[in-house]
Structure 1
């Protein structure tokens, strides 16, 4: 049985960090990146503690209470503590969503989502996003994130849940194509 809950302990934060390290693009083979996806940003433990103190962060645990997934909540004001997320907020604030300047809408950022090998394709991704909507749907207009075009599995999963492309850009440091995507919760 898989439980979807909120990260509440130091142990949870350290488990998030360990799962992140296991799935960093630099630690995953090209074949595995293509089939299972990857995460790019490596957050230090202090940043993970900070975001967990300021907003609920969703995690998934297996029947032994081992962390097997996470979906990180990053409020725009916390993004300045991460160069990649800070750049994302600037890009978001320069876009429009359905005819409105995005910066005039209340949004937060999915800082990263990751599911452990062996638990992918078991509805964990969708359930963590459902928990986000349950917790934040009445307080925010949009949930926004970005996905590297090369991360096909992640991009498809986000579109399946309800995200739509807000903006496409080339990353400054990598020259890769990225999609900023948004899930509209206003309806």
Structure 2
């Protein structure tokens, strides 16, 4: 039975509403423009340079969780802790990780990274799940009305406290086994 061998979290307001998952040592932006445009239409897309997610929010912090497995998981994340916000499958992709160094972050440099594949380099399957996209957009509109009379620092603190993590993503990563 597959086991989780790593879990890494990141909460941020992504620059340009784009988050990427990539091999941290792999340079270049090959195919990134096309993949980012496709992600804008479908939420997620991949290119030789990495996997790109187009998030709904540009004001509220988005929560990302990378879960690394030693083999293909047998189930999805299932319902979350909030009964009305179930996880939605976004897509499954195959990505190369030749160095074993993984980076998850936005295009502005806010990221978490490390040698998380522990010598298990090669191709990996990435399955992306989301929840809270529509709820975050609705909450953002409410929060602008709620903070109209606050100072800018007070409004930022309120938005950070009350809106953080409504929109969430899980990225599940495991060694890719080609179908034979």
TM-score by length of 2: 0.31
State the structure with bigger RCO (CA 8 A, min sep 6), 1 or 2. Answer: 2
Counting helix residues as a fraction of each chain, which structure ranks higher?
1
Answer with 1 or 2: which has the greater Rg. 2
User: Greater strand share, 1 or 2?
Assistant: 2
